[in-house]
């Protein structure tokens, strides 16, 4: 992993364009600011092309969909692909409803993405269609998640980043298992969405997509561990997490990273 991406983000403050869900917009923007990037949110069909052109990364998150937003997401993705701007897709709730699965698949086919970042259920639903999951709480084995991620990576030529107790980052010929993180991360809304947004920030400064995706999950996990050490519960965890992201350095990451490459 090229740890100096972190200082590159802080030096360059890349603009990350987010078309994301209403629930996490504030957290997403704050996490991007805390790590040193510059967030922008814009979803109107009349301005997404212009905004993508100013940006160094595009993050699309389908957490609270409606038809007008889907149209804008597709146009933004096409624009970013044309300009070689890296795209992250967070298929929130994919598999829970047909509408979300269909939308995520449509976006996958609209433009070549750099990274798909979701949880195991979402990645499975995306890989195998909507038939194989039962809502948002489906439990899969690590091997199931790996197989689905590899399938997606091969079909769409992208990197797949799967969050869970052990995070998994997969591309066609490489994989990493990342054991950092803390259970409190599941008690705060939008930590997955934050991972997706930060993946955009790392992609903006790091040309190796697989490395950018891995480093993001390591930074998320290490920041989660450091925040959990001083948190009383999910409220204070959320606050400390932003403080930690703002102050984290390469030595924190080196000391705590738990990555297995394969």
> Where on the chain is the footprint of a copy of itself (CB under 8 A)?
13, 15, 21-27, 29-30, 33-34, 38-44, 46-47, 50-51, 54, 63-68, 93, 96-100, 135-137, 186-190, 231-236, 238-247
For residues 101 and 126, give the distance between their C-alpha atoms in angstroms, rounded to a whole number.
Answer: 7
- For a copy of itself, give the closer residue by CB, 20 or 161: 20
> Minimum distance between the CB of residue 262 and a copy of itself, rounded to whole angstroms?
32
Cα angle for residues 129, 133, 136 (degrees, 5° grid): 120
CB contact at 8 A, 124 and 95: yes
Q: Residue 54 or 172: which CB sits closer to a copy of itself?
A: 54
Write down the least CB distance from residue 169 to a copy of itself, Å: 25
Beta carbon nearer to a copy of itself, 43 or 177:
43
Query: Are 115 and 160 a contacting pair, CB within 8 Å?
Result: yes
To a copy of itself, the closest distance from the beta carbon of 35 in angstroms equals 10
Residues 128, 134, 139, 144, Cα dihedral to 10°: -10
Which lies closer to a copy of itself via its Cβ, residue 26 or residue 179?
Answer: 26
β-strand 175-178 against 259-261: which pairing, if any? antiparallel
Tokens of 13: 């403050």
Integer angstrom CA distances of residue 158 from 117, 225, 226: 11, 28, 30
For residue 188, the minimal CB distance to a copy of itself (Å) is: 6
Residue 208 C-beta: closest distance to a copy of itself, Å: 26
| Backbone dihedral region for residue 181 (phi beyond 0: left; psi -120 to 50: alpha; all else: beta) | left
- Looking at the Cβ atoms of 75 and 259, the one nearer to a copy of itself is 75
């Amino acid at each position: 992993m090229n740890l100096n991406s972190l200082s590159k983000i802080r030096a360059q403050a890349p603009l990350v364009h987010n078309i994301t869900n209403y629930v996490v917009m504030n957290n997403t923007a704050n996490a991007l600011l805390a790590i040193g990037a510059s967030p922008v949110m814009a979803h109107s069909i009349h301005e997404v092309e212009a905004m993508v052109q100013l940006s160094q990364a595009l993050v699309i998150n389908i957490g609270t969909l409606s038809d007008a937003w889907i149209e804008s997401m597709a146009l933004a993705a096409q624009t970013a692909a044309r300009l070689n701007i890296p795209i992250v897709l967070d298929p929130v709730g994919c598999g829970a409803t047909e509408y979300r699965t269909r939308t995520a698949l449509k976006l996958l086919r609209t433009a070549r993405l750099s990274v798909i970042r979701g949880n195991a259920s979402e990645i499975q639903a995306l890989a195998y269609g909507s038939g194989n999951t039962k809502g948002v709480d489906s439990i899969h084995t690590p091997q199931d998640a790996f197989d689905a991620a590899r399938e997606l990576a091969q079909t769409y030529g992208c990197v797949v980043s799967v969050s869970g107790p052990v995070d998994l980052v997969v591309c066609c010929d490489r994989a990493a298992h990342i054991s950092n993180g803390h259970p409190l991360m599941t008690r705060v809304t939008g930590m997955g969405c934050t991972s997706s947004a930060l993946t955009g920030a790392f992609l903006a400064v790091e040309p190796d997509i697989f490395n950018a995706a891995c480093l993001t999950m390591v930074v998320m996990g290490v920041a989660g561990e450091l925040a959990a050490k001083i948190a009383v519960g999910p409220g204070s965890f959320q606050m400390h997490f932003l403080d930690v992201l703002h102050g984290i350095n390469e030595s924190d990451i080196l000391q705590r990273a738990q990555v297995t490459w394969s």
